[in-house]
Amino acid sequence: MSFKSVFYILPFFPMVTRGILYFKFQKLMKDVLTNEELDKESHRTYIMTLAGFSFSGLLAMVILDAALRQDFRFSIYYLFMSFIGYVFALNLQSYKAKRWQDQLAIASMDMASLCLILSILSILMTKNFSPAFACTMSIMAISIWLIDHSFRFRIDFKYLQEKGK
């Protein structure tokens, strides 16, 4: 596996962490969600907004890449994965009923939000920005995403742990 191939695998980190919840609490994943837990409409609004950002960014980057003949391959990949992640999560909102479907939708939204950040960071890593600036911004962005992801993972873990008792 080459070093660059790691960048293609990064978006799947949230799938791994949510997979841990699935395997740890397999029996609870078959539970039917309550109306409060479903909360389909607020999820749809959130997803539609961010899917629009992903789609707009993807379209802009494809046009920019063609016009400037720059290598925005990673940014395009991350924006594509973000858009697909949001579309998949939106589709899941239509028919989710069980906890495992909710966890899959959350993992998909987490992947999509991580990809939005990674797309920006991949642009920062081009020659146009100083390495110190790009590294500082990258560390800040990834740290904020990781802290948020960790908190939400921990909240879900504790909730499922209590529910399983």
Do 39 and 67 contact (CB within 8 A), yes or no?
no
Alpha carbons 22 and 123: distance in angstroms, whole number: 34
The stretch 97-110 carries a mean pLDDT of: 94
Structure tokens that stand for 71 in this block: 């290598």
Q: Looking at residue 162, what is its pLDDT?
A: 94
- Helix, coil or strand: residue 72: coil
Alpha carbons 28 and 118: distance in angstroms, whole number: 33
Residue 71's alpha-carbon distances to 37, 56, 115, 143, in angstroms, are 43, 18, 17, 26
Q: Looking at residue 128, what is its pLDDT?
A: 78
In the predicted structure, residue 3 carries a pLDDT above the cut 80: no
* pTM of the predicted structure, to 2 decimals: 0.90
Residue 26 pLDDT level (bands cut at 50, 70, 90) = very high
Q: Looking at residue 150, what is its pLDDT?
A: 97
Q: pLDDT for 45-95, tens place per residue? A: 889 888 988 999 889 888 887 787 777 889 999 999 999 999 999 999 888
Alpha carbons 109 and 43: distance in angstroms, whole number: 10
DSSP code of residue 126 = S
| Residue located via tokens 């939000």 | 113
- Helix, coil or strand: residue 69: coil
Q: Looking at residue 18, what is its pLDDT?
A: 96
Q: Looking at residue 151, what is its pLDDT?
A: 97
Q: Looking at residue 1, what is its pLDDT?
A: 63
| Residue located via tokens 């740290």 | 143
In the predicted structure, residue 129 carries a pLDDT above the cut 90: no
